[in-house]
Amino acid sequence: MSGDEPSTLERVREIVARNLNVSPSEIPEDAPLAGFGLDSLGALEIAFEIEEAFHISIPDNRVAEFTTLRAACAAIDAVRSTQAPASSS
Amino acid sequence: MPFRRVVVTGVGQVSSLGVSLGDFRTALWRGSPGVRRLSKLDVPGVPEPIGADVPDFNPSEMLPGKNLATVSRGGQFGYAAAAQAFRMSGLGTLDNRAGIYVGTGFGGIFETEETYRACFSREGSRPRPTTIPTAMANAPAGFLASEFRLRGPNLTFTVACASSSHAIGEAFRVVRQGETDLMFAGGVEAPLTPIVLSAWAAMRVLAPAGTDPAASCRPFSADRKGIVVGEGSGFLILEELRSAERRGASVLAEIVGYGRNADAGHPTHPDPDGVRTCLRLALEDAGIPPSSVGYVNAHGTGTPVNDLVEAEALADVLGERPTLLVSSTKAAHGHAMGASGAFEAIATVLALREGTAPPTANLAEPDPALPHLGYVRGEPAAMRTTCALSNSFAFGGNNAVLVFRAMDPLGR
């Protein structure tokens, strides 16, 4: 793959926006995602897609931290720091 | 206490004929099928699959800001249909007793099959968190209750091809008996998946594609060879007459009877006696004589057996007469399983409102082996009486017949 890799924030923003059925540019980093209709089931779906995309396993208690894009990225970074990425094949 | 009268004040649908009621009405009355090749589907054992799929369906546009991963395909169809019906009804805020009954034959088969395919085709794959809440059969009923704030009776009827006819009939009884003044009633189905189509093919009941898929389903023709599977949703708003009058609603038709019974016999072969009995139960419930029925929207699947058994039962119970108009709209919207009854109930309501019965698409000459009834072909036919039936006879031997009556302008 050539070119710059998208940042964690960009990747998460794309996943969250697709799930919430809004444009990525509509979600500021610190905007509460609940304001875009995110509920507990939606958060699980987003966590699932992030696990698949980043090859990590997000503990149950971390899913509740997905309240804003910034908070979600912090949670993901924290998880990544403790987990070796799984095979991406 | 006498029964209360129940009327239809809104209808809506999404089907292979389009995503508006106008599309549906235009195609049905022209006898123009929405049956196409399904070139994107790889169906085991069916080299050229065809179906009645919903065209130009854009749920993102319809439900902006809604997390669509949490809404089943059936639920998305259902929302589109129910929203049309709700708009047509002119209703505003609903009281806490308003409810919804939904019919579906296969429930969340679309989501189930997609999950199985993903999990069994790639090592390490796992189900999405939304698999259970979208695949459960009552997912659309729950979603629609939430969207329209329907806090009253909420049940899902899974009765194969008669599912939504039973949902409508049961909702009719709930309103008639006074439990609530308002019910949404209809059906949803999203069965156009590789394995479902392949399984229907294994039963040897699918109409062959031929050179023109639109001509494949041919109810009541001598050369009929089977069904075409469809998808979509239809909903009706059923309302107690006085309640509708008080708010000045425009009434489309009255629902006056519902028959239901079981063949208690073969799982797939209809029993003539079961079908006849169900027709009689419906007439008895409506309190009308056979002679007052002017139109039957038949189950009319286009299989050799169904159409023969159904036509003979109609002749036995309603009389073998050319004044009894009969048509099957399945040739146009396909056999959408649990949604079919709702499509056909809507077609029946429109027929009563307009005073004309839609033709059976692809019917040039009725099968001479069938009894002599007024099979509508080519052009719509004028109706001479004000009562009409909508039939559904399901695998499992479950029968449902709905009776509708035209309303005069004063709603009497």
DSSP string for residues in A30-42: TS-GGGGT--HHH
Asked whether residue A2 is assigned to any structural domain, the reply reads no
- Does the pLDDT value for residue B167 go beyond 70? yes
CATH number of B257-405: 3.40.47.10
**Is there a contact between B80 and B62 (Cβ–Cβ < 8 Å)?**
yes
pLDDT of residue B312: 98
Residue B261 vs residues B148, B258, B276: alpha-carbon distances, Å: 32, 10, 10
Asked whether residue A1 is assigned to any structural domain, the reply reads no
User: Across the interface, which of B60, B65, B70 has its CB nearest the CB of A45?
Assistant: B70
Q: How far is A75 from chain B (nearest CA, A)?
A: 19
Element (H, E) at B156: strand B154-157
- The pLDDT tens digits for B112-160 are 999 999 999 998 899 999 999 999 999 999 999 999 999 999 999 999 9
Separation CA B48–CA B25 (nearest Å): 29
CB contact under 8 A, A39 and B133: no
pLDDT of residue B64: 81
B96 backbone dihedrals φ, ψ, rounded to 5°: -70, -5
**Is there a contact between B342 and B233 (Cβ–Cβ < 8 Å)?**
yes
CB contact under 8 A, B65 and A20: yes
Q: What is the domain range of residue A55? A: 8-81
Residues 6 or more apart whose CB falls under 8 angstroms from that of B263 comprise: B270, B271, B273, B274, B275, B397, B398, B399
User: Across the interface, which of B63, B65, B129 has its CB nearest the CB of A41?
Assistant: B129
Q: Which of the pair, A87 or B33, is modelled with greater confidence?
A: B33
Helices B340-354 and B163-176: crossing angle in degrees, nearest 10, is: 60
Instruction: Name the residue ranges covered by the structural domains of chain B.
Output: 7-246, 257-405
**Is there a contact between B229 and B200 (Cβ–Cβ < 8 Å)?**
yes
Out of B166, B217, B278, B335, pick the active-site residue. B335
CB contact under 8 A, B65 and A36: yes
Asked whether residue A3 is assigned to any structural domain, the reply reads no
Chain B residues touching A20 at Cβ < 8 A: 65, 67
Q: How many CB pairs under 8 A join A and B?
A: 39
Average per-residue pLDDT for chain B: 96
Q: Are strands B154-157 and B232-240 parallel, antiparallel or unpaired?
A: unpaired
- Does the pLDDT value for residue B170 go beyond 90? yes
Q: Are strands B398-405 and B232-240 parallel, antiparallel or unpaired?
A: unpaired
Q: How far is B184 from chain A (nearest CA, A)?
A: 25
Separation CA A46–CA A12 (nearest Å): 9
B299 is annotated as an active-site residue: yes
Could you give the ipTM of this predicted complex?
A: 0.81
Q: How far is A39 from chain B (nearest CA, A)?
A: 9
In order along its 89 residues, chain A shows pLDDT tens digits of 445 778 999 999 999 999 999 999 999 999 999 999 999 999 999 999 999 999 999 999 999 999 999 999 999 999 999 986 655 44
B276 backbone dihedrals φ, ψ, rounded to 5°: -60, -45
CB contact under 8 A, A21 and B65: yes
pLDDT range class, residue B3, cuts 50, 70, 90: confident
Chain A residues touching B130 at Cβ < 8 A: 41, 44-45
CB contact under 8 A, A48 and B65: no
- The pLDDT tens digits for B228-272 are 999 999 999 999 999 999 999 999 999 999 999 999 999 999 999
CATH number of B7-246: 3.40.47.10
**Rounded to two decimals, what is the model's pTM?**
0.94
User: Across the interface, which of B60, B66, B129 has its CB nearest the CB of A45?
Assistant: B129
CATH (domain of A53): 1.10.1200.10
Asked whether residue A56 is assigned to any structural domain, the reply reads yes
B235 backbone dihedrals φ, ψ, rounded to 5°: -135, 145
Separation CA B34–CA A27 (nearest Å): 40
User: Across the interface, which of A20, A37, A41 has its CB nearest the CB of B133?
Assistant: A41
Asked whether residue A88 is assigned to any structural domain, the reply reads no
**Is there a contact between B331 and B361 (Cβ–Cβ < 8 Å)?**
yes
- Interface probe for A, chosen from B63, B67, B122 (most Cβ of A below 10 Å), is B67
Q: Does A35 touch chain B (CB under 8 A)?
A: no
Separation CA B23–CA B203 (nearest Å): 32
DSSP per residue over B50-76, as a string?
A: EEBPPPS--HHHHSTT--GGGS-HHHH
- Domain total for chain A? 1
**Is there a contact between B369 and B221 (Cβ–Cβ < 8 Å)?**
no
Q: Quick one: CA dihedral A67, A70, A76, A79, positive or negative?
A: negative
CB contact under 8 A, A41 and B70: yes
Asked whether residue A61 is assigned to any structural domain, the reply reads yes
Separation CA B213–CA B194 (nearest Å): 18
Residue B26 vs residues B22, B41, B232, B340, B384: alpha-carbon distances, Å: 6, 28, 17, 18, 22
CB contact under 8 A, A45 and B60: no
